[in-house]
Amino acid sequence: MDKLRGPGLFLAQFIDTTPPFDTLDGLAGWAAGLGFRAVQIPTSAPHIFDLPLAARSQAYCDDVQGRLAAHGLVISELSTHLQGQLLAVHPAYDSLFDGFADAAVRGRPADRTVWAEEQLKFAAQASRRLGLTSHVTFSGALAWPYLYPWPARPAGLVETAFTELARRWRPVLDAFDDAGTDVCYELHPGEDLFDGTTFERFLDAVEQHPRARILYDPSHMLLQQMDYLGFIDVYHARIGAFHVKDAEFRPSARQGVYGGYAPWIDRAGRFRSLGDGQIDFTSIFSKFTQHGIDCWAVLEWECCLKHPEDGAREGAAFIRDHLIRRTERAFDDFAEAGTDTAQLRRLMGLSA
C-alpha cells in the first residue's frame, strides 16, 4: 500500500479578503479545481476555521469535513505554527510576536504563554474530533538569540533553554497523546528546533515522547546547507508530515547562509516555487517511499518571484507527478528459476 499521499495544500499563504480566498468553502473549491486532494488548515484565522468551537463541538467538525468532502477534499493536518511560536518567546521578540496573539493578552507575555498553551490543547481536541493522526506546528524559541556563540554563551544557557522548552511542551504533548495525534515540529530557523541536533536535544528533554515528531521541509535544510536526503535516512521513524517546498542557495563573494540582511529577492538563499529551485524532489519522494513514511505531501508556497496562484497550479501537478506507486514485485522476478536447500549448498561448494 502506498503510504505517501498527495497532493495537499497548506492554506495559510492563500487566505485573503477577496473571493474565493476569503472563506473555507471558496478556498476548498479553488484548491480542488487545481487537483489537490487535501488541505492543511491554519487555526489562526477564525473566519476560516474556528479552533475553540472545533475543540468542543463534534457537529462543527463534522460540518467542516462534510463541506470539504463535497469538493473531494480531506484535512491532512491542522496547523498551529503561530500558537506554537508563542508558547516560548524570548523577550527580544515580545513586541514582534505580540501581533500573533489574541488582543486580550498582547503586552502580557505570561498571559500570552497561557493563551498559547490553551490554543494548542484546543488543537489536540479538534484533531481528535476530526480523526487526524498528525498535527503541524513550530516549537517557539528561547535560545535563538544566542545561536552564534559570540560573545561566548555562559555554560548551561542552552541546557536551561531546552529544559524550559520541554517543561512548556510536555503537557501539550500529553494532550495530543490523549487525542491519538502526533505533534510534528517544523524544523525552522528562528525556532529552537531547527535541525536534527536540536530536535534530538528536545527529544531527550521530553524523555523521547512518542508524540514528538518532525514536519520535514527540505527548503530550510538546503538554506542551512544540511544533507536533506541523509536526514530522511537518519530520522525517517520520526517524520510525520511533509511540506513540499523548493529553495535555492547561490552563495557569492558578498553573502552566504546568513544573507547579509538582504531582502528575500536579493538573498543567497531563497524560497522558490516547486520545480524552480534546487531541491532534489525525485530523490526525496524515493526515500519517503523506500522508508514507508505515512503522511501527506503538502505544498507550502513561498516564493519571492512567482505569483502564488501559478505556484499552486503548478505545484499540484508537480506533487502528483512525483508520487511513487510502489511495486509489488521485484524487477527480476521473471528470471527466478526456483531453488532448494540442497542446491544452495551446492552453489557454495558445501556438502549436502
CA torsion, ordered 296, 297, 299, 300, to nearest 10 deg:
80
Average pLDDT over every residue of 109-131: 98
Is residue 275 left, alpha or beta, with left meaning phi > 0 and alpha meaning psi from -120 to 50? Answer: left
Q: Report pLDDT digits (tens) over 11-31.
A: 999 999 999 999 999 999 999
Q: Which residue pairs from 332-337 have beta carbons closer than 8 angstroms and sit at least 24 positions apart in sequence?
A: none
Asked if residue 1 has pLDDT above 60, the reply is no
Q: Report pLDDT digits (tens) over 171-188.
A: 999 999 999 999 999 999
Is residue 82 left, alpha or beta, with left meaning phi > 0 and alpha meaning psi from -120 to 50? Answer: alpha
Asked if residue 319 has pLDDT above 80, the reply is yes
Residues linked to residue 271 through DSSP beta bridges, in sequence order: 247
Per-residue confidence (pLDDT) for residue 45, from 0 to 100:
97
Q: Is residue 103 a contact partner of residue 46, using CB atoms and an 8 Å limit?
A: no
> What CATH code would you report for 4-347?
3.20.20.150
3-class secondary structure, 323:
coil
What does the domain layout of the chain look like in residue ranges? 4-347
Backbone angles phi, psi at 214, to 5 degrees: -120, 135
Rg (CA), the chain: 22
Q: Report pLDDT digits (tens) over 289-314.
A: 999 999 999 999 999 999 999 999 99
CA torsion, ordered 167, 172, 177, 183, to nearest 10 deg:
-100
pLDDT band, very low/low/confident/very high, at 339 (cuts 50, 70, 90) = confident
Per-residue confidence (pLDDT) for residue 334, from 0 to 100:
66
Q: What is the rounded distance in angstroms from the CA atom of residue 130 to the CA atom of residue 212?
A: 20
Q: Report pLDDT digits (tens) over 239-292.
A: 999 999 999 999 999 999 999 999 999 999 999 999 999 999 999 999 999 999
Residues linked to residue 296 through DSSP beta bridges, in sequence order: 5
Q: Is residue 136 a contact partner of residue 12, using CB atoms and an 8 Å limit?
A: no
Q: What is the rounded distance in angstroms from the CA atom of residue 189 to the CA atom of residue 212?
A: 18
Average pLDDT over every residue of 42-70: 98
3-state DSSP of 340-352 = CHHHHHHHCCCCC
Q: Is residue 182 a contact partner of residue 134, using CB atoms and an 8 Å limit?
A: yes
pTM, rounded to two decimals: 0.95
